[in-house]
């Protein structure tokens, strides 16, 4: 629920802090986002108290979706908590009780929904004081959680630009010093393309305690060859003002929690084990509780199974267990109310006019390769295949430098992508496609041949982003074969004007591609020109992520549309 100006929707929240005499680093382990009920089910999101178990070390409640600088911001916690209003205001208050479970609880700013941003550094400073008085150690007659105090703030800035955030962070740090009874933290949730379009400069100028990097909905997901944890580790060690900053692996809690990038527990296990070699590695961040606790891909659920792996892989639990610390924890009473009905998905009208170009048949890009094959397999060696090398899986495709190789009758046949394009792994790791790249990756795509367990230090080329005055966009291909494709479009506002209820996108596709459907909308294609009308289920948002699907001429490799051809008309 998003209320209008000068309103806060406050939800049930556990503010589990403990008194500590000295400053501590941000806890390692599992970070879980809560508050948005992304599963869109009345019973999926429970009160935060339900998640204060051993499966989560830190809980992040979100989001503040409208800053309304100088007045009261808007806090949206979906179906959590209805309370009484402060007299004469639209600001909800919730009852609170006490708990001593030692969990850290942060409040997140931003998210996909709403409209937010600052026009100046002064606005950032002003808003820092608002946050401190409403939720921190300050004072206000309209504190949604009463005298409970959160443990810090998280920046999940999906749009609106970077103006004012450095000033806000620095002001918050100054305010934190007024309360020596506890530790306060500031974290950020950048997307995995490095540097993040919104937070890149912010986190490199103002120190944060941890980054919850979103390794999904982008080319740099955990399952593709361009997984770039090493870039974030390098940033943590060499560029971050805080040399003790922790980098968390952000993952979707289920296949429905993100457009792409979901990995099952059995696939995450070797990745997490490999990440533990990085000194900056802090653990795993999950989006979100409504998804992970209801995901039965693992027993008893994804959240518990993930926590077992993360806590078991940690070489030290110094930061993971605060249960022995004493304090007068003040918490909000858990409760939930009926959820707003979730959105329903529709696909295209199926009547798009298209023209296609027939190409000579070739073996199809295969999705049958097991990405977790034994490391002793000759085809998994960390070297590029050569033209004429033996292969065993006819129809299998691999990236070779900027080109690709196809297994044809037991021999690798090396080919080049079209002029100006380079080979990329699909985000599910099963095949390849060709696209424009920015060259920001630090390794070539031969590393696509590695198994998931050895890809933590692989950063392949980055697809070229579409950057206009008001929107920055990434298109990454989720899966592709010789007949069809699925691609994820991730668009973010660079200004404070949000996307509206209808989003219109135009792009020019290569001649062998036909777009036939889009999530929550319809598509029309005339020749190579594609027009997408997308229903924004959030009504107003700083970002939109949607999946397009369609057909590929038989025998073709999918070529992504030119980055310069993608235009947002609204």
Residues noted as catalytic: 158
- Among 136, 146, 148, 221, smallest CA distance to 186 is for 136
CA angle 251, 256, 257 (to 5 degrees): 40
Tokens matching residue 330: 């003040």
CB pairs under 8 A, 24+ apart, for 3-6? 3/74, 3/90, 4/74, 4/90, 5/66, 5/68, 5/71, 6/68, 6/71, 6/72, 6/89, 6/90, 6/91
- Among 460, 440, 457, smallest CA distance to 448 is for 460
Tokens matching residue 124: 């950032």
Torsions phi, psi for 471 (to 5 deg): -140, 140
How far, in Å, CA of 318 to CA of 304, rounded?
A: 20
How far, in Å, CA of 362 to CA of 407, rounded?
A: 10
CB contact at 8 A, 456 and 255? no
CB contact at 8 A, 157 and 109? yes
CB contact at 8 A, 9 and 37? no
- Among 189, 147, 181, smallest CA distance to 165 is for 189
Tokens 């078991």 label which residue? 312
**Cβ neighbourhood burial of 76 (10 Å; 0-12, 13-18, 19+):** buried
- Among 310, 216, 309, 302, smallest CA distance to 253 is for 302
A 10 A CB-CB count for 137 gives 16
Residue 518, strand partner residues: 548
The CA-atom distances, in angstroms, between 104 and each of 12, 76, 279, 323, 505 are: 15, 20, 22, 11, 41
How far, in Å, CA of 410 to CA of 497, rounded?
A: 55
Distance between alpha carbon 19 and the CA centroid of its chain, in Å?
32
How far, in Å, CA of 279 to CA of 245, rounded?
A: 10
SS3 270: helix
How far, in Å, CA of 56 to CA of 141, rounded?
A: 32
SS3 272: helix
SS3 80: strand
How far, in Å, CA of 159 to CA of 139, rounded?
A: 30
The CA-atom distances, in angstroms, between 478 and each of 219, 275, 457 are: 8, 23, 21
SS3 171: helix
């Amino acid at each position: 629920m998003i209320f209008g100006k000068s309103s806060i929707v406050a939800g049930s929240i556990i503010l589990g802090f403990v008194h500590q005499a000295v400053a501590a680093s941000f806890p390692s382990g599992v970070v879980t986002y809560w508050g948005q009920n992304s599963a869109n089910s009345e019973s999926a999101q429970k009160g935060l108290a339900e998640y204060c178990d051993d499966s989560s070390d830190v809980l992040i409640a979100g989001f503040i979706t409208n800053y309304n600088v100088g007045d009261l911001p808007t806090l949206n916690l979906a179906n959590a908590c209805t309370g009484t209003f402060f007299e004469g205001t639209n600001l909800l208050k919730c009852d609170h009780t006490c708990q001593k479970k030692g969990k850290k609880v942060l409040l997140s700013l931003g998210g996909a929904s709403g409209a937010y941003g600052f026009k100046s550094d002064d606005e950032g400073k002003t808003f820092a004081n608002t946050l401190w008085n409403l939720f921190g150690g300050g004072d206000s007659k309209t504190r949604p959680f009463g005298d409970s105090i959160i443990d810090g703030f998280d920046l999940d800035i999906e749009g609106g630009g970077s103006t004012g955030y450095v000033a806000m962070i620095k002001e918050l740090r100054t305010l934190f010093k007024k309360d020596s009874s506890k530790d306060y933290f500031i974290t950020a949730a950048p997307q995995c393309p490095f540097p993040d379009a919104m937070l890149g400069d912010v986190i490199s100028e103002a120190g944060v305690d941890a980054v919850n990097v979103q390794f999904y909905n982008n080319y740099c997901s955990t399952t593709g060859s361009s997984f770039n944890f090493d870039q974030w580790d390098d940033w943590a060690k060499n560029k971050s003002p805080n040399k003790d900053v922790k980098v968390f692996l952000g993952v979707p809690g289920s296949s429905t929690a993100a457009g792409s990038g979901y990995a099952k527990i059995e696939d995450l296990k070797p990745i997490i084990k490999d990440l533990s070699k990085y000194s900056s590695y802090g653990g795993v961040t999950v989006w979100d509780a409504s998804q992970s606790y209801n995901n039965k891909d693992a027993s008893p659920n994804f959240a518990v199974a993930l926590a077992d792996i993360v806590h078991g892989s940690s070489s030290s639990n110094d930061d993971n267990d605060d249960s022995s610390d004493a304090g007068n924890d003040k918490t909000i009473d858990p409760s939930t109310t009926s959820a707003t009905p979730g959105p329903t998905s529709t696909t295209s009208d199926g009547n798009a006019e298209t023209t296609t170009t027939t190409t000579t048949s070739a073996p199809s890009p295969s999705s049958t390769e097991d990405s977790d094959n034994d490391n002793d397999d000759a085809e998994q060696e960390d070297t590029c295949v050569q033209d004429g090398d033996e292969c065993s899986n006819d129809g299998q495709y691999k990236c070779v430098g900027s080109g690709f190789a196809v297994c044809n009758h037991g021999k690798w046949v090396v080919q080049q992508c079209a002029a100006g394009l380079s080979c990329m792994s699909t985000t599910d790791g099963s095949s390849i496609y060709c696209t424009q790249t920015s060259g920001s990756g630090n390794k070539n795509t031969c590393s696509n041949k590695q198994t998931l367990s050895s890809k933590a230090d692989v950063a392949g080329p980055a697809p070229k982003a579409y950057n206009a005055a008001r929107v920055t966009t990434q298109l990454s291909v989720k899966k592709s074969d010789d007949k069809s494709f699925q691609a994820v479009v991730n668009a973010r506002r660079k200004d404070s004007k949000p996307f509206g209820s209808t989003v219109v996108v135009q792009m020019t596709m290569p001649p062998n591609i036909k777009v036939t459907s889009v999530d929550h909308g319809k598509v029309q294609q005339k020749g190579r020109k594609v027009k997408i009308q997308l229903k924004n289920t959030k009504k107003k948002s700083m970002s939109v992520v949607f999946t397009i699907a369609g057909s590929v001429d038989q025998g073709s490799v999918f070529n992504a549309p030119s980055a310069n051809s993608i235009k947002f008309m609204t």
